[in-house]
Amino acid sequence: MPIPLIIDTDTGVDDAVALVLALQSPEVDVRAVTVPFGNVGVEKTFANARRVLALAGRTDIPVAAGAARPLVHLQEERAPQWHGADGLGGRAAEFPEPIAADPRFAVALMADVLREATEPVTIVSIGPLTHSALLLGAHPDLVTKIDRIVAMAGSLGAGNTRGVAEFNVYADPEAAHRVLNQFEVPVTMVPLDITMRCLADGAWISKLIAGGPRCAALAGVIALYREAFLERYGIDAVALHDALAVLEAILPGTLRTTALPIQVACDLGPARGATVADRRPEAQGPPVHVALDADTEAVLAEVLRRLVSFG
């Protein structure tokens, strides 16, 4: 039986790739897509998610908008240099018209999916963790319906947003703290430590383009992201951040994890949003399954194989 999924996404470039990856995977059943603020404002991330579903011809999946801001402190950081002002690398207008919106608030849709499910649901968070934090806080009666949360979040090394933080955690550190510091639901954290080792190069992108017109549309979205990656890192490639989290949800165990307590810096200083692992043998706290290793060549090949089937 397919694994039921809720995908929570601030639909930007790598989010679009990750969403298509899930839709092209028979091992999972995408029951809902929920959309917070993130790479761009929620009005754009919400339209983008519905555009991607329109491209995929999936009008059957409910898509609901949610949080327009973090739980506590306002945070104006966005990522137009990576995702374009429209969130899809400047190519949003080339997509089909967005599918119809679900009128429910995102967290209400998540709760409804959990209530209706007859088997545990996996939540894949590939944006700020705001909705997952709200769900855990507002609906403690539903936590037994969640199999696990797989989050593209954090870094145990260098961050990619200001001080030492990874973008999704920096976007709402208090929400990340709530999700990563609880015993109710298992969490798999997919950090920059592994996603920055899984780089799709020019040859990979060329194969994606050759997959068909819809694949070419995805590759077009990647173009600005590729330019920004080259400018910052001097490498002609793109990191498939969110796709790794989705692939782990599709094929559990694809990424090799280490159980570590994780603390999130929620102060307002230069370390805000840092995710710090306690590696001491006597460390206390909820264990987060942190993905730190994988067969990166196999991961890249598997993601490409599934995307090319999109046509």
pLDDT digits (tens, 9 = 90+) for 188-246: 999 999 999 999 999 999 999 999 999 999 999 999 999 998 999 999 999 999 999 99
Burial class (CB in 10 A: 0-12, 13-18, 19+), 76: exposed
Q: Please name the residues in contact with 232: beta carbons below 8 A apart, sequence gap of 6 or more.
A: none
Q: For the residues 69-82, what does the mean pLDDT come to? A: 83
**Within 13 A of 178's CA, how many CA atoms are on the CB side?**
19
What average pLDDT does range 109-125 have in this prediction? 98
- Tell me the two tokens of residue 80: 């137009």
Q: What share of the chain is helix, strand, coil (3-state, %, to 5)?
A: 40, 20, 40
Are 145 and 117 within 8 A, CB to CB? yes
Mark residue 252 as left, alpha or beta (left: phi above 0; alpha: psi -120 to 50; beta: remaining): beta
Q: Is 73 a catalytic residue?
A: no
Task: Please name each of the domains of the chain with its CATH number.
Answer: 3-308 (3.90.245.10)
In the predicted model, is pLDDT for residue 81 greater than 80? no
Q: Which of 83, 131, 177, 241 is catalytic?
A: 241
Q: Burial, 203: exposed, middle or buried (Cβ in 10 Å; 0-12, 13-18, 19+)? A: exposed
Token readout for 175 is 């929400």
Report whether 40 contacts 12 (CB < 8 A): yes
Residue 82 has pLDDT above 90, yes or no: no
pLDDT digits (tens, 9 = 90+) for 37-62: 998 999 999 999 999 999 999 999 99
Taking the model in full, what pTM does it have? 0.96
What are the pLDDT digits (tens) for 253-298? 999 999 999 999 999 999 999 999 999 888 889 999 999 999 999 9
Alpha helices for the chain (secondary structure H):
13-23, 42-56, 80-83, 106-116, 130-138, 167-171, 173-180, 192-195, 202-209, 213-233, 241-250, 296-308
